[in-house]
Every structure is written in structure tokens, then in C-alpha cells.
Amino acid sequence: MAKIQLGVLFGSRSCEREVAIISAVQLMNHVDTEKYDVIPVYISEQGIWYTGAPLRDIKNYTPFNPDMKGVDQVALDITAGSGALIANRPGKGLFGKPSQEVVARLECCVIVMHGLNGEDGTLQGMLELANLPYTSAGVAGSAIGMDKIMMKQFFRGAGTLPCLPDCWFTRSMFQADREAVLDKVEKELGYPVFVKPANLGSSIGVSRADDREGLIDSLELAFDYDRRVLVEKGLDKPIELNCSVLGYDDDVTASPIEMPISGEQFLDFKEKYLAGGGSKGMASLQRVLPAPIEDSLRDEIQRLSCEIFRMLDCKGVVRIDYMFDKTTEKVYITEINTIPGSLAFYLWENAGMKYSQLIDKMVESAMRAHEDRNLRNYAFTSDILKSVSLGGAKGAKGAKGSKGAKL
């Protein structure tokens, strides 16, 4: 059987680009080469697309040299169904014409991006237009999952999903009336609070505030990263519990639950990715797996995770994070990561699934979703175009007395 041409798209203009590079190289090292040809596609800090075998080597990113032998700058042809990665070639000799070469044709895309311009629905939208199968949640699910303010409104709207109280602000609200912002937080939430840029991850720009002064610092920090900021009621050293979900539509499974360990007041970037020296991305984090929790709590978290997965119409692999408040014994949803660090492979390994099998399952979900999408009926036609009158000054004149359809 012909191998699937598997594009692995990673990097992008995002604060979490480096984490994505680690996740992607890790993934490419585990792809079953009997089934797939891996085509690395790196989107740089500047938003330029590259392909070529050297992109599979982690050493080539410190720093990345776009002129490296074997690396081509490319563009994806987004004509529906094309999948072509096209490189521009300069003309040979003094009068040679530049030409274009199709260097690969993607048949399925694994998206390994964290944060904006990749995890947030933008790339997903582009791949929908290109009519290519891809492995992450769709446009709406990705966008809602990325934006912490919208995500919480969405969860709350479901009525059954436990969320901590919060309020949110824009930079212009903060600039216009600081006191009003601070008063609102104190009146509605009290201290401590967690302040988070709406569209980030990896704990970048997240901080805890315990008083008014701290709150000002936290808001200033968060507004450095984003125009919109979420302020959430803080729990004191909650137990964090994370659960991955894998599949698509009617075939959805929850993973064992991990308990990340934090030596700080909360899990920061360093603890997530730099614990124990050399980074293995999210796989580096100190954790207890499976988490030492009651079966009933495990079942509840797995049930909630599958419900959220379906509600956001996810596909492939996600990770949903929770906080358990020891004092009240209540569990709250922290967030969904629609493209989790290290693709949460370590959680699936704990369930007995090899990374290569996880990739198979992600690809299978992408292919099924793609088939479903193409089953949609786009073929509705009518006679509307034959009897148009276009309105507006010119159209109205031309349409005098016409019985054509008015738009």
C-alpha cells in the first residue's frame, strides 16, 4: 500500500514556538515509517514556511538557519485538494526564468503548534479551505479552546461544567479606569486571584496576586502579552489533575490521569519544560501517573473530559486540566489544550499505547472527519442567478420594472 504523505506542521508565530518544535521533533521520531512518509513543515518566527529533512533534527534550531542545505522555503497551495508544497527556484544563468517546483504533496496534516497562529483555529481554517485532513479540533473548537475568556463562558454556558468565578478586562478598560478594574476584582472575587492573558499557554504571563499592589503588577504583566485578560478566583495550592482524550465523534476515550507536581506556588514555564535539565517538552514535568486519587474522582474527571471533547467537537488528542480544592473537595476545570504539549503521548503510554499507535489514531480521526466533511451537500443550486437584479444606484435603474430577484 502506498504510504500516506504526512505533513507535520509546527512552530509558527507564537510565544510557544520553541515548545512546539520539541513536541514536533519528538512526534516525527515516533511515526511508523512503514505507513507514512514524514514531511516536516516548519513555520518560522517570521511566519515563513520551510520544508526539508534537516528540520527533523532538534540541533538545527539553535539557531535555525533558513539557508541550510536541504531546506526549501515553500508555500502551501490552498486550492481545495491540492496539498502541494511549492518552492520557488531562481532562474539559471543570466536570463533564466524563475520557476516553481512542487516538492511534496501533503495528504494529511498533523498540527503540532501551541498558542496563537496554529492552535487557535487560524491554521485549521486554512486547512479546511485547502480541503486537507488535519489532526486537531476544528476551527470553532480550536478558537474557543485557545481563548481563556470565551472558553470559560462556553463551559459555564453548558450548565454542568464546574468553573471558578472570574472577570475579564481589555487593555483599554484598564487604561481608562484602573481603579474601577481593581475594585471590580476585589468586590467580585477577593484574593488570591490568578491573572492570565486570554490567548496564551505554558503559564507565560500568568501570575498570582494576593493584594491590590500585586494585582496591578499581574495585570500589567498580562497586558504586555495580550489585549484581553482573565482574572480568576485563586485556589491555594490546589491538586492539579490532567486528563487526555483521544478520538473523534462516537469513538472517544479518556486517558489515565496525571498529577503534576509543583514546588512553587503554581506550575510555571520552568517546571513544565525544564525540570531535570534537558527538556523533553511537557514530558519533562514532574508528575505522579496515574494520580493517587479516589476511583470516583478519576471517573468524574474522565466523564467531564469526554463531555468537553464532544461539546467542542474535538478530534485527535487533547488534554483537559483540572484543579482539586482540598478544602472543599471540589474539582474545577482549569482549561483545555486542544494541542497539548508532547501531544500527551506519555499519558497514552501509561495506558499501554505506543506513541506510534497514538499517531495512527490521530491520523485516523483526521481522515474520518475529512470524509464526513466531504459528505456534506454543497450541491444545492437554484435559478436565482438567472433572474438577478443587483440593486444599488445603477442596478436599480437597470432593474426598473424587472421581476428579477432583489438582493
Interface with ligand ADP (CB under 6 A):
164, 194, 196, 200-203, 206, 232-235, 238, 240, 262, 266-267, 321, 323, 334-335
Residues pairing with 166 in the sheet:
232
Cβ atoms of 107 and 5 closer than 8 Å: yes
Q: How far is the CB of 358 from ligand ADP (least distance, A)?
A: 22
Q: Which is nearer to ligand ADP, 50 or 169 (CB)?
A: 169
Cβ atoms of 319 and 289 closer than 8 Å: no
Cβ atoms of 195 and 231 closer than 8 Å: yes
Within 13 Å, how many C-alpha atoms sit on residue 24's CB side?
A: 31
Q: Which is nearer to ligand ADP, 106 or 151 (CB)?
A: 151
Q: Which is nearer to ligand ADP, 133 or 201 (CB)?
A: 201
Distance CA 341, CA 293 (A): 23
Distance CA 338, CA 145 (A): 6
DSSP alpha helix (H) spans, 192-248: 212-225
Q: How far is the CB of 306 from ligand ADP (least distance, A)?
A: 20
Cβ atoms of 278 and 302 closer than 8 Å: no
Q: Which is nearer to ligand ADP, 83 or 192 (CB)?
A: 192
H or E stretch at 230: strand 228-233
Residue type at 31? V
Q: How far is the CB of 212 from ligand ADP (least distance, A)?
A: 18
Distance CA 339, CA 120 (A): 9
Q: Which is nearer to ligand ADP, 209 or 363 (CB)?
A: 209
Q: Which is nearer to ligand ADP, 118 or 201 (CB)?
A: 201
3-state secondary structure of 170: strand
Q: How far is the CB of 339 from ligand ADP (least distance, A)?
A: 12
Q: How far is the CB of 123 from ligand ADP (least distance, A)?
A: 18
Cβ atoms of 10 and 45 closer than 8 Å: no
Read off φ and ψ for residue 29, nearest 5 degrees.
-70, -10
Q: Which is nearer to ligand ADP, 28 or 333 (CB)?
A: 333
Q: Which is nearer to ligand ADP, 76 or 195 (CB)?
A: 195
Q: How far is the CB of 375 from ligand ADP (least distance, A)?
A: 35
Q: Which is nearer to ligand ADP, 206 or 369 (CB)?
A: 206
Q: How far is the CB of 4 from ligand ADP (least distance, A)?
A: 32
Read off φ and ψ for residue 295, nearest 5 degrees.
-60, -35
Nearest Cα residue to 333 out of 186, 120, 165, 138: 165
Q: How far is the CB of 230 from ligand ADP (least distance, A)?
A: 8
Cβ atoms of 331 and 162 closer than 8 Å: yes
Q: How far is the CB of 135 from ligand ADP (least distance, A)?
A: 20
Q: Which cell goes with 321?
A: 486540566
